[in-house]
Amino acid sequence: MRKEAYLTRPLSDGAVQCQVCEHFCAVKPGQAGKCGVRRNYDGTLYLVVYGKAVAIRVDPIEKKPLFHFPPRGDVLSIGTYGCNFHCSFCQNWEMAQKRDFDEERDYRSAERSRRSLGQDAPPEALVSTCRQRGIPMIAYTYNEPTVFFEYTYDTARLAHGQAIKNVYVSDGFMSRAALDMIVPYLDGINVDLKAFGETGEEFYHDVCGARLEPVKRNIRYIAQQTAVWIEVTTLLIPGLNDGDDELRALAAWLAEADPEIPWHVTAFRPAYKMLDRPPTSPRDLARAYEIGKRAGLHYVYVGNVMDADRESTHCPKCEQLLIRRRGYDVREVWAERGVCPRCGHLIPGVWG
């Protein structure tokens, strides 16, 4: 289904500038933006996967990962085709990196459209599913939610009105206009901070087809100037973004932005076009964990491995264990969410 894009600027000769992400693609008639799913037809820009979900499933909130949200909470997770990054290590590449569907042809055939663009899942149906099944949250995930912005925005508004929480799992490359538009309806976000420093700039350019600075700007803005709860994830890729100096600079910058931002350092596994790198070792994850703690971050977690101590939440003041995690086996050991039972320290997050 097509939906006219919300954030655009007309250019000459029927071209339209898309303004939802920092690429600001100038899209000529008959062409698509870098994401593949925002396309110009006769001088109007459309999202062509509106109401079409390639993946819909119920996940634990810890899978996003969001650790300072209601533990063990169910979240209805949806994703479409398309992404504004071209990461060669993409773990959801069948969805995110798909560009070869013929939407103009498939749009004329309902059967082809269902097969090619995903199943029908309009915003009303998603919210209705949550209400009927008692699911308290919706996550826009699997591929970058910014590229299906109109779909996420309309769904989030409806969900917000029904007291259903909304979560983005994002590369953080959205425009300020898009961010300001979705923020009133967004409760949480996990942003990938894929690399850092001078090598990080090269990483973003060469490996992802993007830039680092807008991601840093958005993390800082969300953390300091909005009420949206933010957590940050870095996938450690051996030999590419896991050097001590780079991780120290990243952790120090994050701690300066807000030391209470949880930082997830997660294990890489070979995928898509990056099959020549080994998986991240538990020792390297432990090293990154210690770098984050020494930088002053109050909450550092490892992911994609079993490590109960470094996956669990402890009080940063007295080290009391508060939430024990081992994979998706989660057990709360505090009497009142958000409050350390030993010293009374308040643990930030969205606990209700």
Residues 270, 329, single domain; the answer is no
Give yes or no: residues 202 and 335 share one domain: no
The whole-angstrom separation of Cα 79 and Cα 135 is: 17
The CATH number given to whatever domain includes residue 69 is 3.20.20.70
pLDDT, tens digit (0-9, with 9 covering 90-100), for 93-127: 999 998 776 655 544 444 554 456 889 999 999 99
329 within some domain: yes
Q: Are residues 264 and 231 in the same domain?
A: yes
Q: Report yes or no on 15 lying in a domain.
A: no
Q: Same structural domain for residues 241 and 348?
A: no
Within this chain, do residues 320 and 308 fall inside the same structural domain, yes or no?
A: no
Domain encompassing residue 102: 49-315
Per-residue model confidence (pLDDT) at position 183: 98
Are 246 and 300 in the same domain? yes
Q: Are residues 323 and 301 in the same domain?
A: no
Clarify whether residues 302 and 338 are in a common domain: no
In a domain, 5, yes or no: no
Q: Does 130 lie in the same domain as 209? A: yes
Whether residue 283 is contained in a domain is answered as yes
The answer to whether residues 75 and 219 belong to one domain is yes
Assign 3-class secondary structure to the chain: CCEECCCEEECHHHCEEECCECCCCEECCCCECCCCCEEEECCEEEECCCCEECEEEEEEHHHCCCCCCCCCCEEEEEECCCCCCCCCCCCCHHHHCCCCCCHHHHHCCHHHHHHHHCEECCHHHHHHHHHHHCCCEEEECCCCHHHHHHHHHHHHHHHHHCCCEEEEEECCCECHHHHHHHHHHCCEEEEECCCCHHHHHHHHHHHHCCCCHHHHHHHHHHHHHCCCEEEEEEEECCCCCCCHHHHHHHHHHHHHHCCCCCEEEEECCCECCECCCCCCCHHHHHHHHHHHHHCCCCCEEEECCCCHHHHCEECCCCCCEEEEEECCEEEECCCCCCECCCCCCECCCCCC
What residues of the chain score a pLDDT lower than 70? 101-116
- pLDDT of 116 reads 67
Supply the pLDDT for residue 141.
97
Within-domain flag for 272? yes
Pair 243, 349 in one domain: no
Q: What is the pTM of this model?
A: 0.95
Query: In total, how many domains does the chain have?
Result: 2
Predicted local distance difference test score (pLDDT) of residue 14: 97
pLDDT at 118: 85
